[in-house]
Amino acid sequence: MNILLLDGGKDFGHSHGKLNHTLQQKAKEVLTALGHHVKETVIDAGYDIETEVEKFVWMDAVIWQMPGWWMHEPWTVKKYIDEVLTSGHGKLYQSDGRHRVNPTEGYGTGGLLQGKKHMLSLTWNAPLEAFTREGDFFEGKGVDTLYMHFHKLNEFLGMSRLPTFLCTDVIKNPQVAKYLADYQAHLENVFG
């Protein structure tokens, strides 16, 4: 399988994106050992827009590695999305899927990446319970509800969803060895 790894870690604050970069390298190591072909982009290091479009055409699955900043992806990841996916018109999506004959139906079905998949690998300082416990900050709705917009942007291109990987409490109670072991098991389960 051809897998594109997109590292949205940002050189910012005390961590400088180190955990996200470390998880990206773990994914590269595990997926290569499983026999997959891997290409990667470290978004904060810069990229060529047309090369990135071609990576999406090439890949069978994309893994978006990123921290949760102010309840969603960092601005550098959003900028990448706006530049790369918009430039991918005709290669990544043909239209929004609607037709003039019935313009209220079919929205989101014009993607050209049918059969491809996307996965989120996320790091958050919030504890797991903030996502899963009723009455807590995210109302027990889980991280995928919070990232519905992100799943939908991938689905707009025609991709289907793979199970999300989540590291929690990464600043107040970091457990890097556990994160790496859990991520390896997740990757082996999903891509093994």
Q: Where are the domains of the chain?
A: 2-191
Dihedral of the CA atoms 141, 7, 178, 167 (nearest 10)?
Answer: -20
Q: Which residue's structure tokens are 């014009």?
A: 110
pLDDT, tens digit, 9 for 90 and up, residues 13-62: 667 779 999 999 999 999 999 999 999 999 999 999 999 999 999 999 99
Do the beta carbons of residue 53 and residue 91 sit within 8 Å? yes
Retrieve residue 11's tokens: 């050189």
The predicted model gives 111-134 an average pLDDT of 96
Q: Which residue has the higher pLDDT, 165 or 16?
A: 165
The region of weakest confidence among 41-45, 107-111, 145-149, 185-189 is 107-111
The predicted pLDDT at position 106 comes to: 86
**Beta-sheet pairing, 61-67 with 160-161:** unpaired
pLDDT at 108: 87
Per DSSP, the three-state class of 72 is strand
> In this model, does residue 3 exceed pLDDT 80?
yes
Judged against a pLDDT cut of 90, whether residue 175 lies above it is answered with: yes
pLDDT of residue 17: 77
- Class of 2-191 in CATH: alpha beta
Tell me phi and psi for residue 6, to 5 degrees.
-110, 110
| 11 confidence band (pLDDT: 50, 70, 90) | confident
As a whole number, the mean pLDDT across the chain is 95
